[in-house]
Amino acid sequence: MDRVDRRGFLKVAGIAGLGALAACSTTGTPVPPPPSTSSVSSGPPDWAALRSRMSGQLVLAGEDGFAYQGFNPVWDAQKPAAIAKVTSAADVQACVSAVRGRVALAARSGGHSYAGYSSPSGGLQVDVRGLADVEVLPGDQVRVGSGAALSAVSKALLASGRCLPTGTCPSVGVAGLTLGGGIGVLSRKYGLTCDHLVSAQVVTADGQLRTASAAEEPDLFWALRGGGGGNFGIVTEFVFATLPAPDVTVFSLSYPAGAATDALGAWQTWIAQAPPELWSNVVVRGGAQPSAKIGGCFVGGVGALASLLNSLPAPESRFIQPQTYAEAVQYFAGGPIARESAVASSRVARDPLSSPEKAVDLLAGQSDETYLIFDGLRGAVADVAPDATAFPHRTALANVQIYLKTPPEAADDARTKLAAIRDGLGALTGDTGYVNYIDPQMPRWAEAYYGGNLPRLHTAAAKYDPDRVFGFAQSVTPDQ
C-alpha cells in the first residue's frame, strides 16, 4: 500500500531486485452471504442494465478492453467476470445495487493486494482508478479520489509545499494504504496516514453514499481508520489534513553477511530510545549467513543524525544525505516500478525481541530474495490510544514484513517457507500482524490484525454490511 511500502528502502539500501508490494488496497474476494430477507438479491446480475446506468465503462470477460492486471503475477489466474471502470460515486452506487448478493464484489485501487483480493473470481471488480483527482484545498487540507496513487498525491501536495505521511511506493493506491493504517517514513514524527483523515465518502452495502467523519457516521469513520480495505463499503473520496513538507536527512548503513544479529539487536534497542524525528527500518536478507541494512529518514540535519547513528555498530558502508522532502520522495521511490511475483506476511513486535538471533536464524539458508523488514513504530503513532481508531498496534516497537520473491509457478513452495518463517517469528512476537500485509494463511488472522478492536469492528460490520455484501475470506464479519 502497503504498502508503508519497503520497495524504495530496499532499493536505496542496496538490495536489488525487490519491488516489494506495498501497503495496498486489500479489498477482498467475497464469500456467499448468508440468507437474508433484506434487499440483497440472488441470481446473476443484469450486466446490460448496469452498463446502461453507468457513466463509466463496464467490460465483461471476453470483451474488447477487458484486461485485468494487478501488481503481483501470483494472482493473475484469479479473474473477475466483469470490470466496472467507474468515473463517479454514482457509478459505484450503481455497481453495489446491481450485484449485491449476486456475485462477489470488490474495489480495485492500486492493485497491490498481497492476497489478490481486489480481483474477485467470477465477480465484479469496481476499478476506482477513474476517481483519481487530487485537489489541494485552502488551508491545510487535500481532497483525494480513492483511485489516486501515492505518486499523484505527493506531486500535488509538494507543488504547494505540503505533504501527507504515506508509504513510499508510487503506484500504491491511497485507499488501501489509509484503510489499513498507513506506515511510512514520517510515521514516528507525524503519525499514520489514517491519523490525518478528516472525512471519507463511502458507498455502503445498501447503496447509499455516506460521509464518514468525527461528526457524521462516527462508527464508520472509526472503522475506516485501520479496519482494513474491502470492509464496510467502497470509499470514493478522502479529505486529509496535511503538513508543511519538511527538509530531511536520509541514510543507509550496510552490514555484511554474518552481522545481521548484531545489527538487528542494536537497532531494536536504538529505535526504542530514538527521538520521534527519526524513522528507521532494518532489512534482514536471507542467505547462508544473513546480512542486514539499516536505513531511514530524519527530520533534521546531518550533524544531529550522525550523532544518533554513532550509537549503532560500525557498518561496512554508510550513506547520509540531506534532502528536501521532494528529493526524499524520489529517493525512497527508487527506480521504475515493475510487476513482481512474491508471497508475503507480517508480524508486529510489541517490544524488542528477546532473541534477535532466533529471528535472523529463520532466514539462514533461505534464498537471498527472502527478507524480514522491521519498520519502526511508536513516536507519534503511540500518541493515539489503541482504541481511538481501528488500528490496534499503537504502542508496538515495530511492524515486521516477511517477503519472499518467487515465480508464480513456485508460489505454493514459497508459501510453505513463508509459513515457517511467519510462525517462527510469531513465537517471538505473539499472534500479531498488519492487515495491509494481509496473508491468506495467517493463523488467527482477525485477532492478529485487529487485537482488542475486533469486537467493535464486528459491530460496525453489523451496522453497515449486515449481509456481507463486501464479505471475503478475511473480511470483518457482523457481530454474531
What Å distances lie between residue 241 and 142, 168, 214, 386, CA to CA?
7, 19, 13, 21
**Whether the predicted pLDDT of 5 surpasses 60:** no
Residue ranges of E strands in 234-377: 234-241, 243-244, 248-255, 278-285, 291-298, 317-323, 342-349, 370-376
CA–chain centroid gap for 464, Å, is: 23
Contact between 212 and 200 (Cβ < 8 Å): yes
**Whether the predicted pLDDT of 462 surpasses 60:** yes
SS3 151: helix
If phi > 0 it is left, if psi is from -120 to 50 it is alpha, else beta; for residue 334 that is: left
Q: Residue 266, Cβ neighbours under 10 Å: how many?
A: 17
Alpha carbon distance 453, 321 (integer Å): 40
- Cell numbers linked to 414: 514459497
Query: What pLDDT is stored for residue 69 in this prediction?
Result: 76
Phi and psi torsions of 331, nearest 5°: -60, -50
Class for domain 248-445, per CATH?
alpha beta
- Cell numbers linked to 231: 470492509
The helix-helix angle for 150-158 and 325-333 (nearest 10°) equals 160
Q: Residue 307, Cβ neighbours under 10 Å: how many?
A: 9
The three-state DSSP-derived secondary structure of 419-446 is: HHHHHHHHHHHCCCCCHHHCCCCCCCHH
Average pLDDT over residues 162-186: 95
Sign of CA dihedral 229, 230, 232, 233: positive
Q: pLDDT tens across 36-53, in order?
A: 334 566 788 999 999 999
pLDDT band, residue 35 (cuts 50/70/90): very low
pTM over 0.85: yes
- E strand or H helix that includes residue 212: strand 209-213
**Whether the predicted pLDDT of 241 surpasses 90:** yes
| Mean per-residue pLDDT over the chain, rounded | 91
Query: What pLDDT is stored for residue 458 in this prediction?
Result: 98
Write down the residue that cell numbers 489514517 correspond to: 194
Average pLDDT over residues 195-207: 98
Query: What pLDDT is stored for residue 21 in this prediction?
Result: 30
Contact between 249 and 298 (Cβ < 8 Å): yes
Alpha carbon distance 225, 180 (integer Å): 7
Least confident of 70-84, 89-103, 284-298, 461-475: 70-84
Question: 95-124: b or e for each residue (b if 16 or more CB lie within 10 Å)?
Answer: bbbbbbbbbbbbbbbbbbbbbbbbbbeebb
pLDDT band, residue 31 (cuts 50/70/90): very low
Phi and psi torsions of 379, nearest 5°: 60, -135
Please list the residues that pair with 106 across neighbouring strands: 125
Query: What pLDDT is stored for residue 1 in this prediction?
Result: 33
Q: pLDDT tens across 325-340, in order?
A: 999 999 999 877 778 9
pLDDT band, residue 65 (cuts 50/70/90): confident
Contact between 193 and 182 (Cβ < 8 Å): yes
Average pLDDT over residues 255-264: 98
- In single-letter form, the type of residue at position 364 comes to A
- Cell numbers linked to 53: 446506468
- What spatial distance separates the first Cα and last Cα of the chain, rounded to whole Å? 31
Contact between 264 and 282 (Cβ < 8 Å): yes
Alpha carbon distance 169, 21 (integer Å): 8
Q: Which residue in 152, 104, 162 sits closest to 470, CA to CA? A: 104
What Å distances lie between residue 101 and 42, 95, 273, 398, 458, CA to CA?
6, 12, 51, 39, 20
Q: pLDDT tens across 115-133, in order?
A: 999 999 999 999 999 999 9
Strand pairing class (124-127; 82-85): parallel
**Whether the predicted pLDDT of 356 surpasses 60:** yes
- In single-letter form, the type of residue at position 470 comes to F
Alpha carbon distance 110, 17 (integer Å): 20
Query: What pLDDT is stored for residue 26 in this prediction?
Result: 34
Q: pLDDT tens across 283-325, in order?
A: 999 999 999 999 999 999 999 999 999 999 999 999 999 999 9
**Whether the predicted pLDDT of 92 surpasses 50:** yes
Average pLDDT over residues 401-423: 97
Write down the residue that cell numbers 485477532 correspond to: 447
Alpha carbon distance 60, 66 (integer Å): 6
**Whether the predicted pLDDT of 405 surpasses 50:** yes
Query: What pLDDT is stored for residue 410 in this prediction?
Result: 96
**Whether the predicted pLDDT of 242 surpasses 90:** yes
Strand pairing class (209-213; 278-285): unpaired
Alpha carbon distance 23, 180 (integer Å): 8
pLDDT band, residue 362 (cuts 50/70/90): very high
**Whether the predicted pLDDT of 450 surpasses 50:** yes
Task: Give percent of the chain above pLDDT 70.
Answer: 91
Phi and psi torsions of 196, nearest 5°: -105, 5
CA–chain centroid gap for 356, Å, is: 25
**Whether the predicted pLDDT of 14 surpasses 70:** no
Query: What pLDDT is stored for residue 40 in this prediction?
Result: 63
Alpha carbon distance 194, 226 (integer Å): 7
Q: What is the largest CA-CA distance in the chain?
A: 67
Query: What pLDDT is stored for residue 33 in this prediction?
Result: 35
Query: What pLDDT is stored for residue 480 in this prediction?
Result: 53
Query: What pLDDT is stored for residue 90 in this prediction?
Result: 98
Contact between 223 and 232 (Cβ < 8 Å): yes
